[in-house]
């Protein structure tokens, strides 16, 4: 008795000391749910019966409950990013997502509303306010006309404001979705919803899902790269490119926008490439032993990361080095090597797309035009933001197009929600600068590239640009559509976690927006 007690104590101590073994056991228990228990109960009895009858039935008797149409995403543990074909032939091979953090005003950029102009400065009708929550608007705000002039552009004659003179030339390649809708009205959760399909923390980002499902073409570069254009980190933080419950090898790799793209990628002085190699081999051997003992998949992730860093030493520096581009290209993008700008990142994005990086995510910042200060005023800071993104975005689109890459690349541009047709009146007072509050009810996102109709607008808002009157598109619908373009049924790109087949589009039914597919 006392002997076994002593033994059990040592076991517990052992488990505490070797944290990872405990972790694995813990994760195993976490992953086992009531559903597993019930399933093994029924399935177990069923299979017992089937086992005795198997010879009489067809040669292959599948275990009860096994989904025969589930897609297999397993790979060799040493090459977790290796390419996998899409479920069905795909129009799109890679994604460049340009996220305008802070939510740009659709009414100053893409939504031409002449009726709103007529009512500028009038009290907002009570029907606009009933049952609505705003971040800052209180009392009865005034309606606010677009601050900038609109005109029709391109052969498709789509409306666009004079703030985007370069993008103006690209409208015939663009598909505007003017009826985007979200259910989040604060930046961080809304950004999370756009990027992970869920407003809460802990879910894999879009890029992670894509790299999990398709791997990446170039094994010498990360499959999912994130670039920030200086300024402020998006409110959603690094969670926006996290891999959530997917193996962490699928998380976005944030590269620095100036200086070395990835810190400590160069060998320190006195360490040659061959010395680095033999060091990694030894570490790899030890890690393999650790993995053999505890079976924690994160150990394999670590080995793979070391190996990728080794390969990246050559390729990443080259891919990110925009000094290699001729002056004429810099002139078109408005990029200046050595700065942390959106323009530089757009140029890098094109270089990464050429090199077979699967998912390239750019964040711009400062679009939260409340009008609380000059920087975020529609009549001041907003202009700067437009200037910062207009030219490089247009250059990226035309560059991709002339190189033939736009036909299998999907470019997405948009924020996390829209802005109100009412002028913000923080504390019920007229403010010094002009601004608009958050509007989750309607906003504009545009797509360009493979498989998407070019030169069209999908969906409509009312005459004030306040609510959607035609073809609303939920974030999950956008996700389902993008996954469809990448070659997946959004139900089938899933990962078993906590007893559920988790997926990007979460649990509510999502619809592929067939109307915008070319």
Partner 1 sequence: MNLPNQASRQGSDVSATAPNREGMLNQFRSAFVMLGCMLVVILLVVLLPPDGNERADWLQFIGRFHPLVVHFPIALFLLVPILELVGRRDRFAYLRLSVNFVLGLATLGATAALILGWCLARSGGYSGRLITQHMWGGVVLSIICWVCWLMRTRQRELGTAYAVVLALGVALVTWTGYRGAQLSLGPNHLTEHMPPVLRTLLRVEPGRATAVTADPNTFYGARIQPILSARCITCHGEDKHKGSLRLDSYRALMRGGKDGPIIQAENTQASELFRRITLPASHDDFMPKGKQPLSAEQMKLIELWIAAGASETLAVNAVKNAPSGSAMAAEMTFHEVDPTTVTKLRSPIAALVSQLQEQFPNILDYDSRSSADLRLNGSILGSRFRDGDLEAFAPIAEQIVVADLSRTAITDHSAAIMARMKRLRVLRLMDTHLTDATLLRLDSLNQLESLDVYGTPITPTVLPAIAKLPRLSHFYAGQTGIQPGKSVPEDLVGKLVF
Closest to partner 1 by CB, 355 or 387:
355
Options 15, 168, 463, 471; binder of partner 1; rule CB under 8 A: 471
Residue 455 touching partner 1 (CB under 8 A): no
Interaction between residue 512 and partner 1 (CB under 8 A): yes
- Tell whether residue 130 is a contact of partner 1 (CB under 8 A): no
DSSP string, 68-113: TTPPP----TT-TT-----SS--S-SEEEEEEETT---GGGTT---
Compute the CA torsion angle 221, 225, 231, 237 (nearest 10 deg): -130
| Stretch of 64-72, 118-126, 143-151, 278-286 contacting partner 1, by CB under 8 A | 64-72
Site for partner 1 in 385-444 (CB under 8 A): 401-404, 407-408
Which residue do the tokens 């990835």 mark? 262
Among 38-46, 262-270, 352-360, 431-439, which window interacts with partner 1 (CB under 8 A)?
A: 352-360
Cβ-count burial of 497 within 10 angstroms (0-12 exposed, 13-18 middle, 19+ buried)? middle
Asked if 378 contacts 104 with a C-beta cutoff of 8 angstroms, the reply is no
In the bound complex, what is the minimum distance in angstroms from residue 446's beta carbon to partner 1? Answer: 17
The interface region with partner 1, picked from 116-124, 146-154, 428-436, 506-514 by CB under 8 A, is: 506-514
Q: Does residue 511 belong to the site contacting partner 1 (CB under 8 A)?
A: yes
Q: How far is the CB of 71 from partner 1 (least distance, A)?
A: 7
- Figure out which of the listed residues 217, 325, 462, 467 binds partner 1, where binding follows CB under 8 A: 217
Least CB distance from residue 83 to partner 1, whole Å?
5
CB of 461 to partner 1, least distance (A): 13
SS3 state of residue 253:
strand
Q: How far apart are CA 347 and CA 350, in angstroms?
A: 5
Which one of residues 87, 243, 369, 505 is an interface residue with partner 1 (CB under 8 A)?
Answer: 87
Residues whose CB is less than 8 angstroms from the CB of residue 56 and which lie 6 or more positions away in sequence, other chains included: none
Q: Is 436 exposed, middle or buried (0-12, 13-18, 19+ CB in 10 A)?
A: buried
Q: Smallest gap, in angstroms, from Cβ of residue 341 to partner 1?
A: 25
For partner 1, the closer of residues 399 and 437 by Cβ is: 399
Q: Tell me: does residue 462 bind partner 1 (CB under 8 A).
A: no
Contact 353, 360 (CB under 8 A): yes
Query: What's the min distance (Å) between Cβ of 468 and partner 1?
Result: 10
Closest CB 414 distance from partner 1, rounded Å: 21
Q: Which residue has the tokens 């942390």?
A: 340
Q: Which residues pair with 409 in a beta bridge?
A: 94
Asked whether position 304 contacts partner 1 by CB under 8 A, the answer is no
What CA–CA distance (Å, rounded) separates 123 from 143? 6
Asked whether the beta carbons of 407 and 362 are under 8 A apart, the reply is no
Q: Which range of residues in 63-71, 138-146, 203-211, 359-367 is near partner 1 by CB under 8 A?
A: 63-71
> Of these, 30, 33, 82, 152, which contacts partner 1 (CB under 8 A)?
82
487 sits near partner 1 (criterion: CB under 8 A):
yes
Query: Considering the rule CB under 8 A, would residue 88 count as an interface residue with partner 1?
Result: yes
Separation of CA 492 from chain center: 19
The Cα–Cα gap between 189 and 458 comes to 25
**Of 225-233, 248-256, 263-271, 463-471: span binding partner 1 (CB under 8 A):** 463-471
**CA 484, CA 88: separation in Å to the nearest integer?**
9
Nearer to partner 1, 349 or 406 (CB): 406
- What are the backbone angles phi and psi of residue 39, rounded to the nearest 5°? -70, -45
Q: Which of 6, 271, 469, 500 binds partner 1 (CB under 8 A)?
A: 469
SS3 at position 395: helix
Among 21, 50, 61, 71, which residue interacts with partner 1 (rule: CB under 8 A)? 71
Region binding partner 1 by CB under 8 A among candidate stretches 138-146, 255-263, 293-301, 482-490:
482-490
* Contact between 447 and 518 (Cβ < 8 Å): no
Q: Which two tokens stand for residue 223?
A: 């499959």
Q: How many CB atoms lie within 10 A of CB 300?
A: 20
Residues ≥6 apart with Cβ < 8 Å to 385: 100, 104, 364, 366, 367
3-state DSSP call for residue 149?
Answer: coil
* Shortest Cβ 356–partner 1 spacing (Å): 6
- Asked if residue 356 binds partner 1 (CB under 8 A), the reply is yes
CB 382 within 8 A of CB 369: yes
Q: How far is 233 from 254, CA to CA, in rounded Å?
A: 11
- Residue matched to tokens 């004079």: 162
Q: Could you tell me how many residues of this chain bind partner 1 (CB under 8 A)?
A: 37
Asked whether position 55 contacts partner 1 by CB under 8 A, the answer is no
Instruction: Dig out the tokens for 143 from the structure.
Output: 């309606």
Interface pick for partner 1 out of 80, 86, 261, 421 (rule CB under 8 A): 86
Beta carbon nearer to partner 1, 15 or 307: 307
- Quick check: 90 binds partner 1 (CB under 8 A)? yes
Q: Which stretches of the chain bind partner 1, using CB under 8 A? A: 68-69, 71, 82-90, 217-219, 354-356, 401-404, 407-408, 469-471, 484, 487, 489, 491-492, 511-512, 514-515, 517
């Amino acid at each position: 008795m006392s002997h076994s007690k002593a033994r059990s104590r040592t076991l517990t101590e052992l488990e505490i000391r070797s944290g990872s073994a405990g972790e694995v056991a813990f994760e195993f228990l976490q992953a086992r749910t009531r559903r597993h228990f019930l399933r093994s109960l029924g399935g177990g009895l069923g299979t017992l019966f089937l086992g005795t009858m198997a010879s009489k039935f067809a040669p292959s008797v599948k275990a009860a409950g096994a989904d025969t149409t589930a897609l297999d995403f397993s790979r060799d543990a040493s090459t977790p990013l290796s390419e996998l074909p899409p479920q069905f032939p795909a129009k799109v091979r890679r994604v460049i997502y340009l996220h305008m953090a802070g939510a740009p005003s659709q009414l100053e950029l893409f939504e031409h509303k002449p009726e709103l102009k007529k009512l500028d400065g009038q009290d907002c009708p009570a029907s606009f306010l009933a049952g609505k929550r705003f971040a800052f608007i209180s009392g009865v705000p005034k309606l606010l006309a677009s601050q900038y002039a609109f005109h029709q552009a391109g052969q498709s004659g789509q409306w666009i404001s004079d703030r985007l003179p370069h993008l103006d030339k690209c409208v015939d390649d663009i598909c505007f979705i003017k009826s985007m809708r979200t259910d989040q009205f604060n930046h961080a959760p809304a950004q999370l919803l756009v990027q992970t399909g869920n407003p809460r923390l802990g879910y894999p980002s879009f890029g992670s899902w894509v790299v999990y499902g398709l791997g990446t073409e170039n094994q010498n570069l990360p499959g999912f790269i994130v670039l920030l254009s200086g300024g402020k980190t998006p409110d959603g933080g690094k969670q926006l490119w996290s891999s959530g419950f997917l193996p962490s090898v699928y998380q976005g790799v944030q590269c620095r926008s100036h200086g070395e793209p990835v810190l400590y990628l160069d060998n320190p002085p006195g360490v040659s490439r061959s010395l680095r190699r033999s060091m990694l081999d030894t570490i790899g051997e030890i890690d393999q032993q650790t993995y053999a003992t505890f079976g924690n998949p994160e150990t394999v992730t670590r080995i793979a990361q070391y190996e990728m860093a080794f390969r990246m030493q050559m390729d990443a520096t080259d891919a990110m080095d925009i000094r290699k581009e001729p002056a004429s290209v810099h002139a078109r993008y408005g990029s200046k090597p050595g700065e942390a700008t959106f323009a530089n990142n757009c140029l890098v994005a094109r270089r990464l797309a050429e090199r077979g990086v699967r998912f390239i995510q750019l964040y711009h910042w400062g679009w939260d035009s409340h009008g609380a200060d000059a920087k975020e005023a529609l009549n001041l800071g907003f202009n700067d933001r437009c200037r910062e993104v207009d030219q490089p975005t247009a250059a990226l689109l035309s560059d991709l197009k002339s190189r033939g890459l736009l036909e299998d690349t999907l470019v997405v541009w948009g924020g996390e929600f829209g802005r109100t047709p009412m002028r913000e009146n923080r504390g019920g007072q007229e403010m010094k600068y002009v601004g608009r509050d958050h509007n989750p009810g309607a906003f504009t996102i545009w797509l360009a590239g493979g498989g998407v109709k070019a030169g069209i607008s999908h969906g409509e808002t009312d005459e004030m640009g306040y609510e959607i009157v035609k073809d609303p598109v939920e974030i999950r619908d956008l996700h389902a559509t993008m996954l469809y373009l990448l070659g997946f049924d959004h139900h089938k790109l899933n990962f078993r976690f906590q007893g559920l087949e988790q997926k990007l589009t979460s649990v509510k039914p999502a619809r592929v927006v067939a109307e915008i597919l070319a």
